[in-house]
């Protein structure tokens, strides 16, 4: 699929075409029936309610299909509440004009729902901007700045200043609403422009452009309505004129654009493949085996679960005085090197080793070793704690005595193994956050941007000599 892949998507083209056809049909029918004011009022109100309802249903569909773990679900919920409020407002307006056949009072219940809908959209847009905003470029800042200045000047001179100058103290609430609507629309325009410019790229960029376009249409229609109503050129004497057709058309087209944005989000979400990237981290072990060996690497004693490790039915005494490397089929040179390093350094922590049990199966263990001295100079033995995960297929692991458990805790603490495992947990958390970040960047800015993140991370770990790997398939230690 090219770019968003929607220009070639049959579902998108079908819904967009149906919405366009509905918009044209309503506009043409109103023009053809211009002499029948009651009929065109019914058509206009029905179109507004239907369009708002379509948008609401599509946003509810997005909200329901979004996982509760998805950070965008809250934002879609806020938009749904705003859309429901606006739909109720349109329905209330239509109820007065079509059902009751009377002029809508001002202020009315519809106004409270419209204003509440504005507030919910403000909250949603602010949360969206904070969530996915990247640092705007100088070009973006200038574009938003000048557009805001132009809109502010137009709204101020054509709408706000005339309304403020004719403020009627006898009709305080009506006068305040006359000022509130243009201000609310101006703020909505500013937030919408900020969203559009901050999400220029990414898979969901077209979704937010369509949503922004719908809000721009809505704000423009409101501002034009305020201007036309104030100058008494909106539906003058019950006659349809060009500015009335434009304003009303913008209203229901704005709802359809919002609905198309919600539908587009669903299409893009369905087409997204889940980010399959594995976090590779050593699994924490569950079983500890205690073994004491002498300077030459011969076994002095071992806990009973040593037999579970070697998968042997022999008596534990069978392994006494046998070379540790021979009992576990470890390379003798490797074992000699581990003994030498333990004596030199005093301890080794979590050394990975591959052993072969008596039945021939391979197993990975992690060895922690501590040199045990009498006094400070005389080496008594080496204490080994072997850590692994047993798979005894229904059999129970041989139990450790309380003394052995205490010794294991002591040696693991002395060698720093517990501290290392705490570090592993922190590393695991760090890697999970990197994976989440990679997933978000891939979804909202594309694969190429996510790949640049991996390149940058690999450069950093190379400079710092950290033992991490970052690729498009694996994040690991």
In the predicted model, what is the mean pLDDT of residues 466-475?
63
Which one, of 314, 79, 293, 334, lies nearest residue 188 by Cα?
Answer: 79
pLDDT(361) > 80:
no
User: Where is pLDDT greater, at 94 or 435?
Assistant: 94
Could you tell me whether strands 299-302 and 287-293 are parallel, antiparallel, or unpaired per DSSP bridges? antiparallel
pLDDT of 436-458, one tens digit each?
A: 777 777 666 666 777 777 778 77
Condensed to tens digits (0 to 9), the pLDDT of residues 240-256 reads 788 888 888 888 899 99
- The model's confidence at residue 460, banded by pLDDT at 50, 70 and 90, is confident
Q: How confident is the model at residue 4 (pLDDT cuts 50, 70, 90)?
A: very low
Which one has a higher pLDDT value, 171 or 225?
225
The confidence band for 292, taking pLDDT boundaries of 50, 70 and 90, is very high
Average pLDDT in the 46-74 region? 88
Between 285 and 121, residue with greater pLDDT:
121
Give the range among 162-166, 274-278, 366-370 with minimum mean pLDDT: 274-278
* pLDDT-derived band at 269, boundaries 50, 70, 90: confident
**What pLDDT shows up at residue 50?**
94
Q: How much of the chain, in percent, has pLDDT values that exceed 90?
A: 20
More confident residue, 138 or 408: 408
Residue 416 or 93, more confident:
93
- For residue 178, which of 158, 157, 190, 164 has the smallest C-alpha distance? 164
Looking at per-residue pLDDT, the higher value among 452 and 169 belongs to 452
Q: Which of 80-84, 265-269, 304-308, 401-405 has the highest mean pLDDT?
A: 80-84
Q: Which residues of 352-385 are buried (b: 16+ CB within 10 A; e: fewer)?
A: ebebebeeeeebebbbbbbbeeeeeeeeebbbbb
Rounded Cα–Cα distance for residues 109 and 91 (Å) = 11
Residue 468's pLDDT band (cuts 50, 70, 90): low
Average pLDDT of the chain?
80
For residue 298, give the DSSP letter: B
Would you say 439 and 393 are in contact if contact means Cβ atoms under 8 Å apart?
A: no
pLDDT at 119: 93
Do you know the residue count of the chain? Answer: 477
- Provide the H-helix boundaries in 167-241: 172-198, 205-230
> Which residues are registered as beta bridge partners of 386?
289, 367
Residue 2 has pLDDT above 50, yes or no: no
| pTM of the predicted model as reported, rounded to 2 decimal places | 0.57
Instruction: Quote the pLDDT of residue 276.
Output: 46
Q: Give 289's strand partners.
A: 386
**For residue 255, what are the contacts with CB-CB under 8 A and spacing of at least 6?**
48, 51, 52, 54, 55, 86, 214, 218
Before 441, cis peptide (omega within 30)?
no
N-terminal to C-terminal alpha carbon distance within the chain? 35
* Per-residue pLDDT at 394 exceeds 70: no
């Amino acid at each position: 699929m090219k770019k968003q892949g929607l220009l070639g998507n049959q579902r998108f083209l079908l819904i967009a075409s149906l919405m366009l056809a509905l918009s044209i049909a309503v506009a043409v029918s109103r023009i053809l029936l211009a002499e029948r004011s009651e009929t065109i009022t019914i058509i206009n109100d029905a179109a507004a309610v239907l369009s708002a309802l379509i948008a609401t249903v599509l946003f509810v569909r997005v909200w329901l299909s979004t996982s509760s773990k998805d950070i965008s679900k809250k934002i879609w919920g806020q938009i749904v509440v705003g859309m429901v409020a606006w739909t109720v407002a349109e329905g209330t307006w239509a109820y007065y004009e079509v059902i009751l056949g009377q002029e809508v009072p001002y202020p009315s219940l519809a106004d409270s729902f419209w204003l509440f809908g504005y507030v919910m959209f403000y909250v949603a847009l602010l949360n969206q901007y904070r969530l996915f905003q990247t640092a705007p470029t100088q070009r973006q800042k200038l574009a938003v700045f000048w557009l805001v200045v132009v809109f502010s000047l137009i709204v101020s001179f054509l709408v706000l200043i005339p309304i403020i100058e004719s403020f009627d103290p006898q009709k305080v609430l009506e006068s305040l609403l006359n000022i509130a609507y243009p201000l609310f629309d101006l703020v909505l325009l500013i937030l919408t422009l900020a969203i559009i410019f901050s999400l220029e790229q990414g898979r969901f960029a077209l979704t937010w452009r369509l949503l922004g376009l719908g809000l721009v249409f809505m704000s423009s229609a409101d501002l034009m309505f305020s201007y036309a109503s104030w100058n008494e050129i909106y539906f003058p004497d019950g006659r349809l004129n060009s500015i009335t057709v434009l304003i009303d058309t913008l209203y229901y087209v704005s709802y359809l654009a919002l609905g198309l944005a919600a539908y587009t989000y669903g299409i893009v979400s369905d087409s997204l493949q889940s980010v399959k990237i594995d976090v590779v981290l050593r699994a924490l072990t569950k079983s500890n085996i205690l073994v004491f060996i002498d300077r030459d690497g011969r076994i002095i004693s071992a806990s009973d679960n040593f037999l579970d490790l070697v998968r042997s039915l022999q008596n534990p005494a069978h392994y006494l005085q046998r070379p540790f490397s021979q009992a576990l089929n470890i390379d003798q040179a490797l074992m000699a090197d581990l003994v030498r390093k333990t004596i030199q350094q005093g301890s080794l922590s979590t050394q990975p080793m591959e052993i072969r049990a008596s039945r021939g199966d391979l197993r990975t263990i992690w060895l922690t070793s501590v040199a045990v001295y009498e006094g400070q100079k005389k080496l008594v033995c080496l204490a080994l704690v072997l850590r692994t995960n047993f798979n005894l297929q229904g059999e129970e692991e041989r139990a450790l005595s309380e003394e052995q458990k205490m010794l294991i805790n002591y040696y693991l603490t002395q060698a720093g193994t517990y501290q290392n495992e705490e570090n592993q947990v922190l590393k695991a958390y760090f890697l999970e956050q990197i994976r989440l970040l990679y997933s978000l960047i891939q979804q909202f800015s594309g694969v190429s941007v996510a790949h640049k993140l991996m390149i940058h991370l690999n450069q950093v770990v190379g400079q710092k000599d950290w033992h991490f790997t970052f690729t498009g398939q694996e994040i690991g230690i």
